[in-house]
Amino acid sequence: MESIDPRPPSPDPDGGKAESTEPKDSGASAANASESASVESSGSASAAGSGRPQPVDLAGATSAIYLRKSRAEFSRVSRRELLKLAPILALGAFAIPGVQESLLKKGLGFSDWISSALFRRGHLAPTFADSELTAFDKFPINDYDVDDPGIIFENWSLAVSGAVQKPGDYRLEQIQSLPLMRQNTRHVCVEGWDVIGRFGGTRLSNFLSVIGADTSARFIAVSCADDYYETLDMATALHPQTLLCWEMYDQPLTREHGAPLRLNVPTKVGYKQAKYLTGLKVTNIVEKVGYWEDQGYSGYYGL
Amino acid sequence: MSEATIEITRTADDGSETVARAVYEHPLPVRICHWLNAISLFVMVGSGLQIFRAFPSFGAKIPQKDLIDWPQSLAIGGWLGGALQWHLTFMWIYIATGAAYLGYQIFSGNYRQVLFTHRDIPGVWPMIRHYFFLGPKPAVHEAYNPLQKQAYTAAIGLGVLSVLTGLAVWKPVQFSGLAWLMGGFHWARLWHFVVMWLILAFVFGHLVMVLLHGWNNFLSMLTGWKKDPEY
């Protein structure tokens, strides 16, 4: 029985498609060719009498390709095609409790890695007109513990340590003697809300050069009066809009907003912008990234 | 159409032979992308709903979930940090799948199976009439009818938009131009949300149609071969 009959091409309902279907055909043809070949090799002795498909000269097939198969053979083809989808089951690893945690950690790490690669040092965060500012009393106050950790301002200083030439305690007047910069930038919270605020202070990069920081180090780690802690990558620390901030809305910082000194980093999400700073360390190694990060939030979270 | 076709023969006990037909409708890359996309979309929506629960749309200090909430069973991640881990992990699978799908469709020419073009316009109205029981079923010549093409083309566009709005929400500074196009971070967030609902609307319609069109149709997205096609 002649099992392959290259029939006349079926009527093409859509003339415009004729030339377009060529690439698709070749893919499908390959699958059929291998099927035919395997049938041929396994049963060549009885092929002629059993109605098995013969290998077909696909190069000669022009438009329609008809293969004839028994139900069992079609099931076999179908099953083989189904099995090709099996690699997708690897995603099931995400359902295994122990593995899931490490996979998600890797996924978040990958996102952070891409984030730092996307970071452009000279690319500025959008700035806004004074008329677009969120009213000061509408600027949310978020902290993890207390609104006011009770700093005694007269005794306050910033303890600088790590890879710096001039470690020690820096008083607020010393920091405020550096060039003042004010900016209206968007403050984005990881919860999704955003406000536009006015911040004033000096570029962190100014302060880093005053203390003689080794800017080839990887991190700036800060500690806070309320035991909050944070880490900035060096590229972000050197960004021209990253401020050591002592003003909001042209007024000295209020206690709830982080007096006497906080970070303002328009290229980072809100939780990176620590308040009530008490310490600053330039370092290559951080054991703890940040209060929220150590609970599972992104360590980089650049905007 | 000139897809590869198989004739399936069945010989009954009395020797009489019946013949069914099957066409190769979904190439392997399309099937892989379809199921990877289904899984990653499920995770993106689930973790997105959990992320949404943290959003104080009714003012600071008023957690969203106090006023509007999704059943916890629909959300993925358990808490904001966990949901972000899922979202920021599976978005890479979602993006890679989408890019691989688009690349394959374009370079193989297979996009013609799904892309709605001006040639499909005349078939739209008769198909709508048929779906609303007002007209006869138009003749089927290819894998997808004009309304299907419209739906799939729109879904692909929505997929692209979901990525673009998502990038604007994730990186409103690095992609400040993209965020600006959407009206800034605040609006980009809203668009991202709207696009999700439009995708869910598509998924709902898609699932209804899959149920209506039976087992052979469903199987074709698993094996590639559609048995007893209408064309």
Mean pLDDT of B49-70: 70
> Chain A within 8 Å of B186 (Cβ-Cβ)?
yes
Q: A51 and A133, same structural domain?
A: no
Q: A273 and A164, same structural domain?
A: yes
Q: A212: alpha, beta or left, given left = phi > 0 and alpha = psi -120 to 50?
A: left
Q: A34 and A132, same structural domain?
A: no
Q: A172 and A30, same structural domain?
A: no
pLDDT at position A24 over 50: no
Q: A124 and A33, same structural domain?
A: no
Residue of A104, A140, A191 with shortest CB distance to B86: A104
Number of domains in chain A: 2
pLDDT at position B114 over 80: yes
For position B63, what pLDDT does the model report?
Answer: 61
Domain termination site, one of A32, A57, A84: A84
Question: Which phi and psi (to 5°) does residue B45 adopt?
Answer: -70, -45
Q: How confident is the model at residue A3 (pLDDT cuts 50, 70, 90)?
A: very low
For position B66, what pLDDT does the model report?
Answer: 64
Q: What is the pLDDT of residues A167-226, one digit of tens each?
A: 999 999 999 999 999 999 999 989 888 899 999 999 999 999 999 999 999 999 999 998
Cα A173 to Cα A247: distance, rounded to the nearest angstrom: 13
Residue A95 located in a structural domain = no
Rounded to the nearest 10 degrees, how much is the dihedral formed by the CA atoms of A135, A138, A144, A147? 80
Other Cβ atoms within 10 Å of A226 Cβ, number: 21
For position A65, what pLDDT does the model report?
Answer: 62
Domain termination site, one of A84, A110, A133: A84
CA-CA distances (angstroms) from residue A97 to A92, A94, A101, A104, B71?
Answer: 11, 8, 7, 11, 22
Domain termination site, one of A57, A84, A111: A84
Residue A111 located in a structural domain = no
Cα A89 to Cα B36: distance, rounded to the nearest angstrom: 10
Number of domains in chain B: 1
Tell me the residues of chain B between 70 and 129 that have a Cβ less than 8 Å away from chain A: 80-82, 84-86, 88-93, 107-110, 112-113, 119
Q: A44: which 2 tokens?
A: 């060549």
For position B94, what pLDDT does the model report?
Answer: 96
Residue type, A237: A
pTM reported for the whole predicted model:
0.81
CA-CA distances (angstroms) from residue A79 to A73, A74, A84, A85?
Answer: 10, 8, 9, 10
Q: A25 and A165, same structural domain?
A: no
For position B83, what pLDDT does the model report?
Answer: 93
Q: A144 and A74, same structural domain?
A: no
Q: How confident is the model at residue A18 (pLDDT cuts 50, 70, 90)?
A: very low
* ipTM of the complex model: 0.84
Other Cβ atoms within 10 Å of A301 Cβ, number: 24
- Distance separating the N- and C-terminal Cα atoms of chain B: 8
For position A11, what pLDDT does the model report?
Answer: 40
Residue A281 located in a structural domain = yes
Mean pLDDT of A145-174: 90
Tokens 């869910």 belong to B200
Determine the 3-state secondary structure of B18 from DSSP.
Answer: strand
Residue A142 located in a structural domain = yes
Q: A226 and A165, same structural domain?
A: yes
Q: Do B110 and A296 touch (CB under 8 A)?
A: no
For position B178, what pLDDT does the model report?
Answer: 93
Q: A276 and A169, same structural domain?
A: yes
Q: How confident is the model at residue A49 (pLDDT cuts 50, 70, 90)?
A: very low
CB contacts, 8 Å: B4 with chain A: 25, 28-29, 31-32, 65, 67
Chain A: nearest CA to B222, how far in angstroms?
A: 6
* A164 neighbors A219 (Cβ within 8 angstroms): no
Return the higher-pLDDT residue of B138 and B168. B168
For position A216, what pLDDT does the model report?
Answer: 95
What A255-261 contacts at long range (C-beta under 8 Å, 24+ apart), as own/partner pairs, is: A255/A147, A255/A148, A255/A151, A256/A141, A256/A143, A256/A147, A256/A148, A257/A139, A257/A141, A259/A151, A259/A153, A260/A151, A260/A153, A260/A156, A260/A172, A261/A158, A261/A172, A261/A175, A261/A201
pLDDT at position A80 over 70: yes
For position B60, what pLDDT does the model report?
Answer: 57
Q: How confident is the model at residue A42 (pLDDT cuts 50, 70, 90)?
A: very low
Q: A127 and A80, same structural domain?
A: no
CA-CA distances (angstroms) from residue A58 to A11, A63, A80, B24?
Answer: 20, 10, 21, 16
Return the higher-pLDDT residue of B201 and B137. B201
Residue B16 located in a structural domain = no
- What percent of chain A shows pLDDT beyond 70? 79
Q: A214 and A157, same structural domain?
A: yes
Query: Worst-scoring range by mean pLDDT, A4-18, A91-105, B23-37?
Result: A4-18
Residue type, B54: A
Q: What is the CATH number of the domain that holds B79?
A: 1.20.950.20
For position A125, what pLDDT does the model report?
Answer: 93
Q: What is the pLDDT of residues B59-69, one digit of tens each?
A: 655 666 666 66
Residue B228 located in a structural domain = no
Chain A: nearest CA to B171, how far in angstroms?
A: 4
Domain of residue B90, residue span:
27-222
Return the higher-pLDDT residue of A163 and B15. A163
Residue A158 located in a structural domain = yes
Cα A299 to Cα A302: distance, rounded to the nearest angstrom: 9
- What percent of chain B shows pLDDT beyond 70? 93
Domain of residue A289, residue span:
119-295
Residue B1 located in a structural domain = no
> Chain A within 8 Å of B181 (Cβ-Cβ)?
no
| Mean confidence (pLDDT) of chain A | 80
Tell me the residues of chain B between 139 and 158 that have a Cβ less than 8 Å away from chain A: 141-142
For position A46, what pLDDT does the model report?
Answer: 36
Q: Do A302 and B174 touch (CB under 8 A)?
A: yes
Mean pLDDT of A284-302: 89
pLDDT at position A53 over 60: no
Residue A103 located in a structural domain = no
Residue A128 located in a structural domain = yes
For position B65, what pLDDT does the model report?
Answer: 63
Chain A: nearest CA to B1, how far in angstroms?
A: 6
Q: A283 and A209, same structural domain?
A: yes
Q: Do B39 and A297 touch (CB under 8 A)?
A: no
